[in-house]
Amino acid sequence: MSLNEVWEAASATPFIPIVAKDRQFSVGFNLLLLALITGTFFALNRSFFSVISLGLPAALASGLHHKMEPLFAGVSNNAHHLYTLLSCIGFAHKATVQITPDGLRFSVEEGRVIQGLAFLDKSLFTSYTFNPSTDSGFNNLNATPQDDNESSQNGAYPHFVVSLSAVLETLKIFGINELSESNRPRDTSITHSGIASSSAFNAPALLMDRSCILQYAQHGAPLSITITEAGVKTTCELVTYEPDEDEADIPLQRDAIIMKIIMRSAWLHNAIAELDSSTPTILKLSACAKREPYFALSGAGGPFSESTVEFSVDQHNEIAGGAAHGTTQSQMHKVLFDDGSSRARATRAKLAPTVTETFLVSPPSSMGERIQQSYRFALIHKAARAMSVANKVSIRGDRQGVLSLQFMVELDDHNVPAGRPVGAGVKGPNGPVCFVDFRFVPLLDEEEAEMEMDAGVE
């Protein structure tokens, strides 16, 4: 049979492939893809069932985790503001932190006789995000975010305990400590109103380029602090703890305030520093609106003589009694002058100018016309840091003898002396205004007598 005959015979039965010509490319591509997937499963030693049963839930959980927003996140362009406020209550190692829509509330206490409260207002942060619906695993706590804005509605806000010492060390992790005016004694700066010199190489200028990010993801998560400076980023994750169930604030009866005195914090700081030189164990507070001494602080119980610093509410100098009263070794009266110094005087002189902006004393009839309370001097001295950086202090006391020292701290970015007076409001001419509050439990008569006897024996 010739080739032509074979060709004609084959044309009667044409060849039809299994895969149509127009589908051969797609079929080949699918087979190649299947080979790659099968080879991958074989290399990972995983079956197809295990990949679906384990990989798919993991992928979904990962997607949900990335979509979940943190419970709290805050960004501050000035980490030193946070450090300044928290260092005022740095006498304790641990602090209870409460997150509120208005800011962060840090609370420390020692022996249930002293409590320090520092409120980081949301105005200190360039970005402040609070998502209370993210986590619901918090217990109620009858606490308030700020002393002057107490409300029982804040009890449901999340709270936890964190190491305050670790927080302070983290905020100054790059080695830049405090501002120059914070290190300067207050008695040398209260009379200056000019702006201190500043350069590109001093601590305030270096602190301007430091940012701080605080983040708390959920209940039980660590507190994350990220510090960024000059392109260097450091992240610290601090372990958080559950607060004690019986933890509560030292109560201050606002409807039973019998004493309210507002003055420059520098005067109080200088007075405590003067009394500290005699190493007392007891601080006696005396206030009267009708006769001298109008407001006096005395240090007693120490190994040395008892000393007293007297304040006045009059606007002119006046010698009380017209005659000099002799001083003894056991009683020394000191008077504060305009330059911040104190000098011993045989006569009690009133201050010029006035050192108190507000002086309200209204004791109950059972106390007489004078308010007298005693406190542990060592506890009052723990507020010295707040006294040194604050502008003003509000001294309040209730009928139970609880003492409240509320300090107004004006934060500044330009190294302006902290003693510059500011008006009322949450923001002064140089920066935001924040508050730090200390509360002290008074000494009972038996405790005071016991401490004086112990000091006499020593």
Q: How many CA atoms lie within 13 A of 96 on its CB side?
A: 23
Q: How far apart are CA 128 and CA 317, in angstroms?
A: 51
pLDDT tens track, the chain, 458 positions: 677 777 677 676 776 777 777 788 888 888 888 888 877 776 666 565 666 666 666 666 665 555 578 899 999 988 889 999 999 999 999 999 999 999 999 999 998 999 999 999 999 999 999 998 755 554 444 444 444 444 434 457 899 999 999 999 999 887 654 444 444 444 434 433 333 344 444 544 555 567 899 999 999 999 999 998 888 889 999 999 999 877 788 999 999 999 999 999 999 999 999 999 889 999 999 998 888 888 999 998 877 778 899 886 554 444 433 333 333 333 444 444 445 455 554 433 433 335 778 889 999 988 888 999 999 999 999 999 999 999 999 999 999 999 999 999 998 764 333 443 333 334 555 678 999 999 999 998 766 656 655 655 55
Beta strands in 77-206 (DSSP E): 94-100, 103-110, 114-121, 127-130, 159-163
Beta strands in 29-179 (DSSP E): 72-76, 94-100, 103-110, 114-121, 127-130, 159-163
Do the strands 392-398 and 370-376 form a parallel or antiparallel pair, or are they unpaired? unpaired
Long-range CB contact pairs, 443-447, < 8 A, 24+: 443/282, 443/374, 443/375, 443/376
Phi, psi of 34 (to 5 degrees): -65, -35
Q: How far apart are CA 292 and CA 175, in angstroms?
A: 49
Phi, psi of 378 (to 5 degrees): -65, -35
Do the strands 306-311 and 331-336 form a parallel or antiparallel pair, or are they unpaired? parallel
Which domains, ranges and CATH numbers included, belong to the chain?
72-238 (3.70.10.10), 254-457 (3.10.150.10)
Tokens standing for 313? Answer: 């509410």
Burial of 360 (0-12, 13-18, 19+ CB in 10 A): middle
Q: How far apart are CA 171 and CA 80, in angstroms?
A: 7
